[in-house]
Amino acid sequence: MNGLIIFISAYLLDLLIGDPRWIPHPVRFIGKGISLMERILRGQNTKDRAQNIDNGINIKERMAGAMLVTVIVGGTFVLFYLADSLLMSATLLTFPINHLSFFILIYLTSTTLATRGLIKAGQEVISAIDSDDIVEARKRLSLIVGRDTDRLDKKDILRATIESVAENTSDGIIAPMFYFAIGGLPLAMTYKAINTLDSMVGYKNEKYRDFGWASARIDDIANFIPARITGILIVITSFLINLLSYSDHLNRLNGLNSLRIMFRDGRNHPSPNSGIPEAAIAGALGVRLGGPSTYSGKIVEKPYIGDEIMASNEEILYLNAARVSLWITGIVSVMGVLMVILIIKIRGAWK
């Protein structure tokens, strides 16, 4: 029961305050740990990186990257397992220690979630488009995507926003919820460490192709189930929004099409996971995502996801779709809470 109370309180706390910069955040410390370990494992001398190459693979770099994953992932789990055990034990003590330890557990759990932050980031991009400030829209978009944004037009900005919202609904909301449900705070925070590793070193560029290989692979494994849960929840949410008649704002939400596009185009993405929620949301909204994108000045050809419905004004089509994508994220997060409650109840029944 304590686990459920902690999780629901953490979800509400995240909705209330998000991640204020002035409050210490575990993920920022994990990020600093990753940077420190990278410097230690790779050293300052880059000349050795051209050595120990076998069939185009730098063995030394891959071994160093695997060590990084072992230290960060293993260290995070052990640290938060001990912290969780200590704090849970302290909740049995008398006031004020029990109240303080309980609040710390709630706060730590809330830092694994990003519902408020994701919705706010999407709203800021949409608000800039509403104000016809494309420069500001590009700037705000650059904070949530990895691609170059300085030459994107309004349609491309909105399309990238929808893609980011869909992907991060899985990475930032459903995945940590899923791991909390099956393993509590230690596993949820371990997932955040894996996700942070991927975001910092899991790139396919020259610098991180080998060193970040292990980080990218473990992230793919960790997100396999959550991405598919997210896709299913987006499909269900599409049906629910139509049922609740919210579709007056966008009369084309289509749960069946969401399901169809998810199965048809879910693999049309460099990531084995990100394409699932993106395809589900593209089908629901009647938009086309994916396609060529520019990263560090280089064009990367990516398959398209979804079918674009006929519209007299594509900017209005994508603006409305971006707005509704945030509603989808909010409802999916609530359904994620129900998922956690169900899993924890089932786990309790098996004990």
Q: Which amino acid is at 96?
A: P
Element (H, E) at 289: strand 289-290
Tens-level pLDDT at each residue, the chain (351 residues): 588 999 999 999 999 999 888 888 999 999 999 999 999 998 754 555 555 565 678 899 999 999 999 999 999 999 999 999 999 998 888 888 888 999 999 999 999 999 999 999 999 999 999 999 999 999 999 999 989 999 999 999 999 999 999 999 999 999 999 999 999 999 999 999 999 999 999 988 888 999 999 999 999 999 999 999 999 999 999 998 887 764 444 445 789 999 999 999 999 998 999 999 999 999 999 999 999 888 878 888 889 999 988 666 788 889 999 999 999 999 999 999 999 999 999 887 676
pLDDT reported for residue 55: 63
182 to 105, 130, 345: CA distances (angstroms):
17, 41, 11
**Vertex 167: Cα angle to 288 and 227 (nearest 5):** 110
Nearest to 110 by CA among 181, 189, 165, 28: 189
Counting the structural domains of the chain, the total is 1
Q: Which amino acid is at 249?
A: H
pLDDT reported for residue 315: 83
pLDDT reported for residue 45: 46
**Vertex 234: Cα angle to 228 and 235 (nearest 5):** 95
Q: Structural domain of residue 119, as residue ranges?
A: 2-350
Alpha helices in the chain (DSSP H): 2-17, 26-42, 59-90, 97-110, 115-130, 134-142, 154-169, 175-201, 213-243, 255-265, 275-285, 314-350
Q: What are phi and psi of 57, to 5 degrees?
A: -110, 130
Give the C-alpha separation, 324 to 326, whole Å. 5
Distance of CA 31 to the CA centre of its chain: 16
pLDDT reported for residue 249: 47
Residues comprising the chain, all counted: 351
First to last CA, the chain: 13
Nearest to 305 by CA among 323, 284, 333: 284
